[in-house]
Structure 1
Amino acid sequence: MKKVLITGAAGFLGSHLCDRFINEGYFVIGMDNFITGDKKNIHHLEKHPNFDFIKHDVTEFVNIEGNLDYILHFASPASPIDYLKIPIQTLKVGSLGTHNLLGLAKAKKARILIASTSEVYGDPLVHPQTEDYYGNVNTIGPRGVYDEAKRFQESITMAYHRFHGIETRIVRIFNTYGPRMRLNDGRVIPAFMGQALRGEDLTIFGDGSQTRSFCFVDDQVEGIFRLLLSDYEAPVNIGNPNEITIKQFAEEIIKFTGTKQKIIYKALPQDDPLQRQPDISLAKKLLNWEPKIGRAVGMKITYEYFKSLSEEELFKSEHKDFKKHIHL
């Protein structure tokens, strides 16, 4: 039985990856420090014979006993609410955390897949975004703590590949959604769905002409799984190229939920990308992958998940005191 370490295992995407690898017959070691992850996302795996969990901050030295075949590094704040509250930890998990896990991969002779992001493209001047585009990122802006953490993560990963011969994979993840997202984490889909369920008006930042492309989590996990098992070491975009404006999407949510809310507008945050659409030609060619689940189906599944949450979860705000739990 092959063994895989998944960091950020209690997060939205990390927990779905744990499920997939267990279902594929792997022994999964999950690792998380619960800064943004949630224990309930992996509660169903606690007694599974092929799952083990280690509570640990990957910015500290990481050691795993015994053999290890694969490492998937998904430990990082991923929403603006999180990385703007804990900017230093965000930079540390992308730099120190990645360094520690690359060192573990070297010691164990394990293949490592790094979770990068479409945010490495910044506010793009090329549309749609291809893997050979270098990006347009403000290094000192508030979003720079996330964008540059991921860009450094890619750089050190390729350095380990070239210098040490480590088997590396890099996935650039575009907007992904589905069950287990945090309802109030500041990202577009949970924000709109939460407002709709609470009977609040839907908030658009800017005029709503900015675009996003939303990929359902099952499609994303399939792309990541195929990339890990491929023989390609450079970054690959995994996302859904079906682009939509934020205003159109808000109108779609109102129609979908049958609510009567209005759309209200607020100022656009600094460096918020105006366009986001992946070019997935490389993924199609290398991995024979493209998304299969349309937005109508994916949104219905996601909405049913959010509707199932308790009233306490529906109305609570994100107010974690991160500084009590981490070393800044």
Structure 2
Amino acid sequence: MHLSKRIMVTGGCGFLGSHLCERLLEQGHDVLCVDNCFTGTKRNIRHLLNHPDFEFIRHDVTFPLYLEVDEIYNMACPASPIHYQFDPVQTTKTSVHGAINMLGLAKRVRARILQASTSEVYGDPEVHPQPESYWGRVNPIGIRSCYDEGKRCAETLFFDYYRQHRLKIKVARIFNTYGPRMHPNDGRVVSNFIVQALKNEPITVFGQGQQTRSFCYVDDLIEGLIGLMNSSDEMIGPVNLGNPAEFTIMELARKVIELTGSASEVIYKPLPQDDPRQRKPDIALARKELQWQPVVGLDEGLKKTIAYFERLLEEENR
């Protein structure tokens, strides 16, 4: 039996954060969920609120927090373009001030801290698939920059705290992840397509749908994050976590229509600014160092996600 730890999850009411809280509770830890509920929702953690080892604090990480914890998963930040572009200044603050505040807390209580970074640090990549050694190609002044550059700056801060203060850090670069509890209106491709298909509305594809994405089911990703947090102190990252199976957006659209039995038709819209053409993680490092790789295939994961959205839409229509 491993020791029970006091673990803080910022952004714990979000899609990934709520799954992480749930998994850590299953492992017997004391979990503190911190979220200002800007994009996260209490609905995602409602089933955990009566758990004796779970606590929820409504707090914005751009302000300091004084608590005693053993580990911190810094997951707080709006992650979909619709949400992070709604208040871009706040998005940058959440990534940068949030990182400074959480690193300061980790330094004070000597906690191990993990940063949920993103494949967006690679921008629109010239290297395919993207290994951790690739520095990226990011527009610093575009409409996505608040998120891309905010996360890049957070990585900088983590590594400087590591070098300057010998802090125990972990940096995970998360690629497209999907599953139950995704926000239905977050504009992300999986949730968009499923909601449109279930409502028999036209499925909106940007460009010709030939851009590629790699989709990782949430359970796989959470195992990767926990595996990284529990790895040796030398294993600081950054580590790509994602599913290397690559699909075009059109392939995804067809799959969703097929699995939902939808009557939806596909319509095409212009590509958004700075939309990456390809995304595929090189996960050789995670395989070697964490013995981690995804096990849930796209069809299986989509079926579980579709079932979640069916329930959600039924509740809305009651």
Q: Same fold (TM over 0.5)?
A: yes
Give me the CA root mean square deviation. Answer: 1.2
What letter matches 2:227 in structure 1?
Answer: R
Aligned partners of 1:248, 1:294: CA distance in 2, in Å? 14
**Matches for 1:73-92 after TM superposition, within 5 Å:** 73-92=74-93
Q: How many residues align?
A: 313
The answer to whether structure 1 residue 276 and structure 2 residue 276 are counterparts is: no
Matching residue of 1:53:
56
Matching residue of 2:255:
252
TM-score normalised according to structure 2 size? 0.97
Secondary structure of the 1:308 match is: helix
Aligned partners of 1:262, 1:234: CA distance in 2, in Å? 42
TM-score normalised according to structure 1 size? 0.94
Matching residue of 2:29:
26
Aligned partners of 2:193, 2:150: CA distance in 1, in Å? 27
Aligned-residue offset at 1:314: 7.4
Structure 2 unaligned runs (5+)? none
Q: Give per-residue Cα distances to partners, 1:171-228, cap 9 Å, x unaligned.
A: 0000001100111110000000010111101000111110000000000000000000
8 Å CA contact 1:183–1:314 kept in 2: the answer is no
Aligned partners of 2:263, 2:56: CA distance in 1, in Å? 44
Aligned partners of 1:136, 1:38: CA distance in 2, in Å? 33
Aligned-residue offset at 1:312: 6.8
Q: Give per-residue Cα distances to partners, 1:289-319, cap 9 Å, x unaligned.
A: 000111111111000000001457479xxxx
Q: Give per-residue Cα distances to partners, 1:129-185, cap 9 Å, x unaligned.
A: 000000010000000110000000000000000000000000000000110011111
- Distance change in 2, residues 1:38/1:273 (3 Å): same
Aligned partners of 2:264, 2:32: CA distance in 1, in Å? 44
Match for 2:244 among 241, 244, 266? Answer: 241
Aligned partners of 1:314, 1:218: CA distance in 2, in Å? 28
Secondary structure of the 1:269 match is: coil
Aligned-residue offset at 1:258: 1.1
Structure 1 unaligned runs (5+)? 316-328
What letter matches 2:223 in structure 1?
Answer: E
What letter matches 1:223 in structure 2?
Answer: G
Matching residue of 1:318:
none
Aligned partners of 2:249, 2:163: CA distance in 1, in Å? 40
Q: Give per-residue Cα distances to partners, 1:85-116, cap 9 Å, x unaligned.
A: 01011000110011000000000000000000
Matching residue of 2:184:
183
8 Å CA contact 1:198–1:314 kept in 2: the answer is no
- Distance change in 2, residues 1:103/1:81 (3 Å): same
**Matches for 1:135-214 after TM superposition, within 5 Å:** 135-214=136-215
**Matches for 1:209-220 after TM superposition, within 5 Å:** 209-220=210-221
